[in-house]
Amino acid sequence: MKNQLSTADILVFLVYLVVVGSYGFWIYKRKKQKVTDTKDFFLAEGSLTWWAIGASLIASNISAEQFIGMSGNGFFVGIAVACYEWLAAVSLIIIAVWFIPVYLKNKIYTMPQFLTKRYNNTVALIMAVFWLFLYVFVNLTSILYLGAVAINGLLGGAYLHTIMIALAVAAIFITLGGMKVIGYTDVIQVAVLIIGGLATTYMALSIVAEKFGMGSSAIAGFKVLMQDAPDHFKMIMDKPTAASSQEYVNKYLILPGILMYLGGQWIVNLNYWGCNQYITQRALGADLQTARNGILFAGFLKLMMPVIVMLPGIAAYVLYKNGHLPQLVGGMDGAYSAILSFLPSGLKGLSVAALTAAIVASLAGKANSISTIFTLDIYKKYIKKDADEAGMVWTGRLVVLFAMLVAVLFTWNDLLGIGSAGGFTFIQKYTGYISPGVFAVFLLGMFWKRTTGPAAVVGILLGFILSVFFNEFAPRIFGNETWLYTAYYNSDAKLHQIPFLICMGFAFFFTVPVMVMMSMAGPKINPKSFVHDPGMFKVKPITIVQIVVTLLILMALYVKFW
């Protein structure tokens, strides 16, 4: 495969690098006098505006896992994968109204700190270790691998390791400037991401129209997609029957119809957006109204994300099945790169810049969260209790370097099998191993005063054990068809599996009663429970308008594509 980037593409890409790098350096120099302050380094000293918070949330969330992984799922399954994005909008409303006030009122800066205040140090330490392993070995690695594979495909396929190193180095430079640099450079990153992403989608639809003799209208191209692949425009997949093909069963294993809305999808979204250091860190340094506005702004932007990260995958599917996409390599995760190859010079460079912006922003945000958790919740509490501000900042920077080095080592030859699993599915499945227990602990800890520390320890461990059990062992022990679940044969894994989103729901709904029963043996009001001021959950009229507009758009989308 030859290099698909022209001189114009490279120039556009270099302009992006210069602009982002220069702006980040300017932000860093403006606040250089406070660079040794941990609150400034980890939380931006509460100086992010609502639009910076919202942009940073989206820039950190939308990465290679969406551009490559979700586009790949769009190629394979279709619009049903948009549920991750559209339910995120509802989840962000819930977070803005009910979760963030609890964090801000109790001056919570890290998720392990929440667990320490509400439960005890044991719970916080267990979760800090869980999060560090998850962020390094699932998130950092997958983002780095998928991003490098995508850009490498556009450069001719011979620069994978060079690109990995370049992405890691770029993320390190942004991260070392602290959360303020990350937050404000993310404003540029998300602008490039949206503009470049929309341009890619527009061109993809135009190409579909041209290939099918419908002119060059993007609207005509969208109509072609709906006519040629109607199965790809169905939000809710029906349960497989004996007559269903193996391909359909594999799709259902990823997105199991209405059942995923009864548990797994909500756990994924609420845990990700509300109990995740990597995400909530953007809002934890702000005042309540600023944080709410930023989170709701991010929720509104999530409504358009499937257009950017999923629709190109469906376009690639229609082109490929009709013989118009011979350059597709690497299975479904190669769909986005294949679409980029059609773009004209200059625009292709902008789209690669958008992809790179998403990758670097996510890597930087994740690395900052890793350093925050390790420095504040492990190093300061257990390794060097008398560490000063400057020492903690430098420790955080060294952790960034170490985490990125580990990610490069594990992605060098794809030791974790990210490529074979499908990037987006890999992340969701393995994150789902700890999500049910974590979400149960946070939810009960916030809103039920009786929840105890021992119940939280059991909840975290039991949630993990049950997730592993249902995903890996339940069909072998209880059979493939029970009153509780149906396991389906997966031709790739050569065994029967329960859809992982359903497994997450089972793990959560079995964990919560155990935690409740354990807590009933304790005092009616746990001494460490949070005191809620009813006024903290009240919202301003403008906030209500934002919420209603988001919900109306979401309802219209589901009515259209149900």
Does CATH number 1.10.10.10 belong to domain 7-384+392-412? Answer: no
Burial bucket for residue 560 (CB in 10 Å: 0-12, 13-18, 19+): exposed
- Structure tokens of 338? 């294949």
- Structure tokens of 535? 């006024």
Per the CB < 8 A criterion, the answer to whether 360 and 170 are in contact is yes
Lowest mean pLDDT among 149-153, 282-286, 290-294: 282-286
Please tell me the distance from the alpha carbon of residue 169 to that of residue 431, in angstroms, as a whole number.
Answer: 25
Q: What is the pLDDT of residues 5-54, one digit of tens each?
A: 678 877 877 887 777 667 666 766 665 544 445 555 444 445 567 877 88
The predicted pLDDT at position 69 comes to 76
Q: Report residue 460's pLDDT band, with 50, 70 and 90 as the boundaries.
A: very high
Q: 179-211 vs 311-321: helix axis angle to the nearest 10?
A: 30
Decide: pTM greater than 0.85. no
496 three-state secondary structure: strand
Compare 435 and 278 and report the one with higher pLDDT. Answer: 435
**For residue 346, pLDDT beyond 70:** yes
The predicted pLDDT at position 33 comes to 47
Sign for the pseudo-dihedral over CA of 280, 262, 539, 184: positive
Identify the CA nearest to 365 among candidates 445, 284, 282: 282
The predicted pLDDT at position 292 comes to 92
The predicted pLDDT at position 487 comes to 92
Per the CB < 8 A criterion, the answer to whether 81 and 74 are in contact is yes
Mean pLDDT over the full length of the chain: 83
Strand partners, 490: 495
